Amino acid sequence: WSRDIEAHETVIEAAVVNPVTVVSNGSLFADGLVAFGGTVADTAVLFVQTDGTLRATRTLIKSLSDSGESYGVLTDYYVALELIDVVIEMDGSQTAHGVFMDDHGTLTARRLQVTGHDVQKFFAGIVTAFSASTVIEKSEIRGNALERQVGIGLYKSQAIVRNTQVGLGLPNEEGYGILDQAGTLSVSDSTIEVAGSYEEANGVYLSGTHDATLTRNVIRVGSLSDFSLGWLVGVGAEYADWVFLSDNVIATGNSAVSNFGFITSAYSESPGEVVLVNNVIATGFAGSINGAVRVENSTYFIAQNTLAAGPGQESTGAGLDVRELIGPPRSFVNNVAISSMSEANFPLTFEHTGQPDLQTVLGNALYAISPTCLLETEDDCVSTVNEVNACEWSSCAQSSDNISAKPGFAAADDYHLAAGSPLIDAGIDPTSLAPEEALEALGYDIDGDARPQGAGWDIGADEYIPAR
């Protein structure tokens, strides 16, 4: 199908399970097609069988089914999909998948729009499994489901997501903007927004991911104007091997239970690696535990971040739990770590520290109003910045040049540094401590401005520029 789609409309509509089918080893190039699924249950508007090829451009795919499983595009094994300027509408379905690509296929989606509003049970915008190549760029996925919703779901796939918007709304029991399981993932220059939930809402969740890189994204979970009954997690990683985050803004709203901007955990016998550079991570209120960053059972390099935890029963700017791992010193450098007034209030904590001489804490701003401890370990409650810098607390390898002062941000919701901020030129040169993968990101701030400016390195995600 290829012609003047403005002057001539071609519509395929059929009350059958699969109105358009590409047979095994077949191929279809559709340009300007309008395809409607029938009202029957368990339907796929476009179905591509094993070893088939589908290239669709300027195409509208719409499901009319309100029962059973509904798919915009469904594939068998070893299928090649290319979707350019395609719109998939799954609104009102019972269980809806915009694109579901089964084992060992390849997907290229450019300017793809998937909607799944008012879905009765489960909505997924794009799902791939065992994909050797999934590329999603300049696309948009929006929907809401009463039960579970996933913007992009990836299983043992190699995926790149660029310049893409994911928005998942109320009401829902469980939501994931992007869910990766045991794959490799790169997400850049994208916006991911997930409404609060009854159980758990996640912006990006990595489960067993081998390699994840997130750069220059805006990730928002929940709302500051109301409360989520479930957990809120900006970015979560469970048993991930390598997680690299730079230049992201991650914000969570208010939760009646726990609230984390970034949280990761791993097996003690197979620890992960975490690198965080130039991120702004802020959380709202939590009825229970509240942490801007929590790292469990992983080695880490955390530098030049602004970490602000909201109030809760326990508020922690950065909680680092290494579960007695043996390994090189971990580095926490040039960060702003802020906790809020709570029953327990810690800008920085170290738990299960294990061997001595493990932690390097240099050039940070640790701040809270009336903190329980400025820095806490399982053996020590360090109350003053002089004690922090003395490095006499358990597991300290090196600690100096840390300060405790009100950061001096531009505004309450603007984490750029204002003129006169004590964080300006107060950091250290972090490059000698950094893994090779972090060196490039250390040379600029979250806005792309070069570091350092002026007499030295600034603390936090922003490097102050007087002209701005």
Q: What is the DSSP secondary-structure string of 116-179?
A: EEEESSEEEEEEEES-SEEEEES-EEEEEESSEEEEEEEES-EEEEES-EEEE-SS-SEEEEEE
What single letter denotes the amino acid at residue 368? A
Beta bridge partners of 57: 31, 84
Q: How many helices (H) and strands (E) does the chain have?
A: 2, 45
What's the rounded Cα separation, in Å, for the pair 122 and 127?
13
Look at strands 298-303 and 272-277 and give their pairing: parallel
Residue 55 has which token pair? 């290239």
Angle at 215 between CA 212 and CA 218, to 5 degrees: 115
Q: Is it true that the peptide bond before 452 is cis, omega within 30 degrees of 0?
A: yes
Topology (CATH) of 10-442: Pectate Lyase C-like (2.160.20)
Q: What is the pLDDT along the chain (468 residues), one digit of tens a residue?
A: 556 777 777 888 877 888 899 999 999 999 999 999 877 788 899 999 999 999 999 999 999 888 888 999 999 999 999 999 999 999 988 999 999 998 899 999 999 999 999 999 999 999 999 999 999 999 999 999 999 999 999 999 999 999 999 999 988 899 999 999 999 999 999 999 999 999 999 999 999 999 999 999 999 999 998 899 999 999 999 999 999 999 999 999 999 999 999 999 876 566 789 999 999 999 999 999 999 999 988 889 999 999 999 998 988 888 887 665 556 668 999 999 999 888 889 999 988 655 666 889 999 999 998 899 999 988 889 999 999 999 999 889 899 999 999 999 999 889 999 999 999 999 999 999 999 999 999 999 999 999 999 899 999 999 999 876
Q: Is the pTM of this model over 0.85?
A: yes
Q: What are the domain boundaries of the chain?
A: 10-442
Residue 9 has which token pair? 């409309």
Burial of 392 (0-12, 13-18, 19+ CB in 10 A): exposed
End-to-end CA distance of the chain: 53
Residue 427 has which token pair? 């950091």
Residue 202 has which token pair? 């996640």
